[in-house]
Amino acid sequence: MNRCLILLILLFIISTPVFPQAEKHQLKTNTEITKFLDPGYPRFIKNDPDDPDHKKWRKTMDRYADDHPPFPVFLNTGDLGTDENNYAFAIEMWFMRNRFYPQYIDTGKPEEDLANWNKAKLEWCRRYPEECKIVEAAQK
């Protein structure tokens, strides 16, 4: 009896799919917010039979991460004027490349990825407050 139970538990654990962090952070989508989301974002949908396997998704997410770096960090070199100008320029460049509402980018470092995502959302919402309200209301 105990062996049977242990075998069933092991079989259940082995057959349970393992999904990346991105899955739990995916945004709910509807037609109202789709226009604010990047259509090129690699969504991982666990029950879709046409969905690529994890290795293909991982490569796609890695390429997406390369094209969508985290929000810039202020670098203090001691020359405040130049540092502020460089930071402002870096922010503008980031927004040129990231005009859509930020989505979780899974690089395999969950804590860093979550911090980067939260920072990007905060800054995007500062720049686009009305659009942010629409997207965030749809997530509730």
- At 10-28, the pLDDT tens digits run 444 433 344 445 555 666 6
Closest among 50, 47, 57 to 20, alpha carbons compared: 57
Non-local CB neighbours of 43 within 8 Å, separated by 6+ positions:
26
What's the token pair of residue 57?
Answer: 């998704």
- What per-residue confidence (pLDDT) applies to 140? 79
- What per-residue confidence (pLDDT) applies to 104? 92
- What per-residue confidence (pLDDT) applies to 22? 54
pLDDT band at 86 (very low <50, low <70, confident <90, very high): very high
pTM here is 0.71
pLDDT band at 60 (very low <50, low <70, confident <90, very high): confident
- Greater model confidence, 60 or 90: 90
Average confidence score pLDDT of the chain: 80
Task: Tell me what percent of the residues of the chain surpass a pLDDT of 70.
Answer: 71
Q: How many residues does the chain have?
A: 140
What's the token pair of residue 19?
Answer: 């999904």
φ/ψ of residue 6, rounded to 5: -60, -40
- What per-residue confidence (pLDDT) applies to 26? 62
Largest interatomic CA distance in the chain: 74
Residue 86 CA to residue 119 CA, distance in Å, equals: 18
- What per-residue confidence (pLDDT) applies to 11? 40
For residues 48-64, average pLDDT: 76
Kindly compute the dihedral angle of the four CA atoms of residues 89, 27, 61, 118, in this order, to the nearest 10 degrees.
40
Answer yes or no: is pLDDT of 101 > 70: yes
CB 110 within 8 A of CB 21: yes
